Structure 1
Amino acid sequence: MSPRFSESADNALPLYAVSPATLPSVLDRLTPIAAAFARSQPFGAGPGELLMLPGEDGKVAGALAGLGPENLRERQRFTLAAVVPRLPEGPWRLEGDLDDAATMEAALGWLLESYRFDRYRTQSVPLASLVAPEGVDAARVEAIAAGECLTRDLINIPANDMGPAELESAANALAVEFGATMTVTGADDLLENNFPLIHTVGRAATEARGPRLIDMSWGDSGPTLTLVGKGVCFDTGGLDIKPAASMGLMKKDMGGAATVLGLARMIMQTGTKVRLRVLIPAVENAIASDAFRPGDILPSRKGLTVEINNTDAEGRLVLADALALADETPPDLMVSMATLTGAARVAVGPDLAPFYATTDSDASALAIGAVAAADPVWRLPYHAPYEAMIEPGIADLDNAPKGGMAGSITAALFLRRFVTETPRYMHFDIYGWNPATAPGRPKGGVGQGARALFEALPQMLDL
């Protein structure tokens, strides 16, 4: 269940968000007992510091939460969220001299910190709740948190319980909840309907985990937005099998699909005036006698042929057919999201989501949205001189150029070859995983780029 704000402000305790600079003025506003106690403690308002304040009856009457000095704020997002697990259960209200942006970040961070993946646990610990701060659009923040939590859940579920069929069920549940329509092209119909790459990548899986293309639509007015998410529910690497250390996190290889579904929830739950389409090629890259092979040359929906130089570069293959379908009805904006390359992680690490954009205006809008949403992204280029790297000579395209350089860029260039009719196309090469617990972001599955894009959509699409 998605975290929500407290429904009642009755008996809510104050949580004072303070920095070293604002601490003296906040202490002056406390009751004499609370102020005297706070001054007697080694509390310096450092990031994540927490000090409980006593009331006249000796019970907890509030708390101080440290934000740290201003010059260190950019080093950590959702600083206030660090104290949430240490607060007593019950409603709290936010106090302190925070501007609108800081208040919004604190409110969202609280809800994101309240996320728990407890599907496989028999016990859960109740957490403190937050009264929606004044001036915050509570419904919007709850929708953003709900979308993020959906993404986290889908990524965190292990592959034995999150195969292509279960991913289809998750998309269908979302469609039913918001009155969207959904069609699915199953394994038996992929070739007949000209999705050869999706079929080829997924055909080695068992019948119960067969490949499919999920196609969901919502909204009847406004600009058109198409989201395409990589749904590789588990990736062995195929015949170019991954080593065990690299395969351990491959339940998250459907992180692109999880992220576009989370973004779709944000859009639908807030009633954003767009005509939304979500496409998810859902497969398992398995190993069997009919697995596709290195050296194979495969056809695509677009008519381009692809030489397979590595069966572990399968995500771009399934995305290619889905992008080609989307491009046949060009939307105002097309976005693909995928856990696509290790090269992106080497370049920017796990925190940043690199993205590619065909227009500077969309890239600029996204950069502004990323700051507002505390969802950092970084633009990488569609560097045209590298196009030759994805042209093998024997076929139109190479799915895994040799040499090991510019891997994220060449993957993005590969995908762009399948988007020829849509002028505005953005691609995100996300990681989808938080390797260490941080405020508002527990270790595990995480959405990247979705909140930034959601924040930027009004400017991008003139909503």
Structure 2
Amino acid sequence: MPPRLAPADADARPITAVTPDTLEATLEALPELARGWARARAFSAAPGEILPLPGPDGAVAGALAGLGTPEARARLRFPLAGAASLLPEGTWRYQSLPEGLRANAALGWLLETYRFDIYRAQTPAPARLAAPEGIDPARIEAMATGEWLTRDLINTPASDMGPAELEGAAKTLAATFGARVETIEGADLLERNFPLIHAVGRASPRAPRLIDLRWGDTGPTLTLVGKGVCFDTGGLNLKPGASMGLMKKDMGGAATVLGLAHMLMATGAPLRLRVLTPAVENSVSGQAFRPGDILRARNGLTVEINNTDAEGRLVLADALALACEETPDLLVSMATLTGAARVALGPDLAPVYATTDADFAALAEAAPRASDPVWRMPFHIPYEPMIEPGIADLDNAPSGGMAGSITAALFLRRFATAPRYLHFDIYGWNPQPAPGRPKGGAGQGARALFEALPALLRP
């Protein structure tokens, strides 16, 4: 079932949000039994702390939820989300919740209820939340459902999530909202001039493809491009086993743009949306592309292959070149592209490259409202020579290992010629669980972009 908030319900059991400053007054206002219980349990209002409270008959009648200090609360993206898993069955409502935390509390609750149960039954979170006053429940539900879709796609193992299955997910999404999908597959990629997508995917028995989803007939144009490498062995530059273990998530960019597309279509965003997904499996066989090969991209630029494990930027290059043939008002790419981005910012922050200061400013202003942090990285022009090998226009894997995320972004910029371009070098995975954010597949940047789009695409 998709994540849903319950209608406002005065009979729902109350959750009282408490800070250390309001703790003593809150406890004094409780009935004697509940107050004694809270003191006995040493409830301290720490962020994420949840305490069910007994009623006169001993049954759970309410709960306290710790908010902590602002400084402590900043350590948890969804400080109240744990309540969804810790409280017993029934409908609950927040009271005394600051207005600025209501949307975060509702979204965090729905994200906490996510379970990846395709392969093994998981215990669902039994509690439901009544929509807090002053929020848009449909918008919150669309954001949560889009994130659930992204998580499901990333968490599904490559045995069941290859290029064809990713295409199936895009078609299912399109059918839900009346969108259109065209797919170019296998040898037709060469006929239609997508040589880099074909080269990366040709070694696999699972045919490479370009999935092209369109929705909407009026408004500004937004094109999303998501890296869809459904599994990455590294190709002939084979990854060691330890580095290959999480490569089912290498289609995290595609999963994230599909989740964002759900948010946009579910809320009837006033725009013309295009989603391009180059979907491949980077495999090893006699058909694999080789180190030292020079390949010609869709836009005519030549690329020297110095590492077949730097394949994501290749498939994105052809898709970005196609996207720019229509000059969208805003072009966005999302990709699990470089380990260098994780070294720079870790798994929690989404690195973003922007061609205009105004676009990043709008994104940075919106990101906290969506509880989806981003951090700007530079298109540092002095590094351009690092991606120019001499015998071809571009090098897909500059030697030396310096500025790996930046040089990858500069590589993509040669194909993303639209005046306004945002590139997200995401991780797509939570290595450690946190409230509202289970270990496993994760969208990054999608909610921030969803929240920022009214400003980014303002007429």
* TM-score tier (shorter): over 0.9
1:128 aligns with 2:127: yes
**3-state DSSP class of the match of 2:147?**
helix
Secondary structure at the aligned position of 2:6 is classed as coil
Q: Which runs of 5+ in 2 are unaligned?
A: none
Kindly tell me: are residues 374 and 126 of structure 1, through their superposed partners in 2, closer, same or farther at Cα, counting changes over 3 Å? closer
Query: Residue 213 of structure 1: SS of its match in structure 2?
Result: strand
- Counterpart for residue 415 of structure 1: 412
Amino acid at match of 1:428: F
Alpha-carbon distance in 1 for matches of 2:51, 2:140: 27
1:443 to 421, 439, 456: 439
The one-letter code matched in structure 2 to 1:130 is L
Q: Which amino acid aligns with 1:72?
A: A
Q: Matched residues in 2 for 1:51 and 1:371: separation?
A: 27
Is the CA contact 1:67–1:79 (under 8 Å) kept in the aligned structure 2?
yes
Runs of 4+ with >4 A deviation:
none
Mapped contact 1:236–1:286 kept (Cα < 8 A)? yes
The answer to whether 1:290 aligns with 2:287 is yes
Amino acid aligned to 1:200 = A
1:95 is aligned to: 95
Secondary structure of the residue aligned to 1:335 is strand
Tell whether the 8 Å contact from 2:83 to 2:109 is kept in structure 1 after alignment: no
Give 1:225's aligned residue.
222
Cα distance between partner residues in 2 of 1:390 and 1:152 = 33
Closer, same or farther in 2 for the Cα pair 1:123/1:114, shift >3 Å?
A: closer
- Which residue does 1:431 correspond to in 2? 427
Which stretch shows the higher mean deviation, 12-21 or 131-140? 12-21
Aligned to 1:157: 156
Report the Cα offset of residue 35 of structure 1. Answer: 2.9
Contact 1:2–1:115 (CA under 8 A) maintained in structure 2: no
Q: Deviations over 1:226-253 (max 9, x none)?
A: 0000000000000000000000000000
Letter paired with 2:395: D
Q: Note if contact 2:47-2:67 (Cα within 8 Å) is conserved in structure 1.
A: yes
One of 374, 379, 401 as aligned partner of 1:377 = 374
Mapped partners of 1:419, 1:8: distance in 2: 46
Q: What's the C-alpha RMSD, in Å, of the aligned pairs?
A: 1.2
TM-score where L is the length of structure 2: 0.98
What is the distance in 1 between the residues matched to 2:100 and 2:284?
49
Match of 1:45 in 2: 45
- Quick check: 2:116–2:122 contact (8 Å CA) kept in 1? no
Paired AA for residue 19 in structure 2: S
Identical columns (%): 69
**Partners of 1:19 and 1:70 within 8 A in 2:** no
- State the partner residue of 2:195: 196
Offset at 1:318? 0.2
Alignment of 1:56-455 (within 5 A): 56-96=56-96, 98-206=97-205, 209-420=206-417, 422-455=418-451
Q: Is the 8 A contact 1:143 1:270 kept in 2?
A: yes
Which SS does the other structure have where 1:190 is aligned? helix
Asked whether 1:19 is paired with 2:16, we answer no
Amino acid at match of 1:372: R
Indicate conservation of the 8 Å contact 1:231/1:253, yes or no. yes
How far apart are the structure 1 equivalents of 2:384 and 2:73?
Answer: 40
1:187–1:199 Cα contact (<8 Å) kept: yes
| 1:77-126 alpha-carbon deviations (Å, 9 max, x no partner) | 10111232111011111112x33221111111000001110011135334
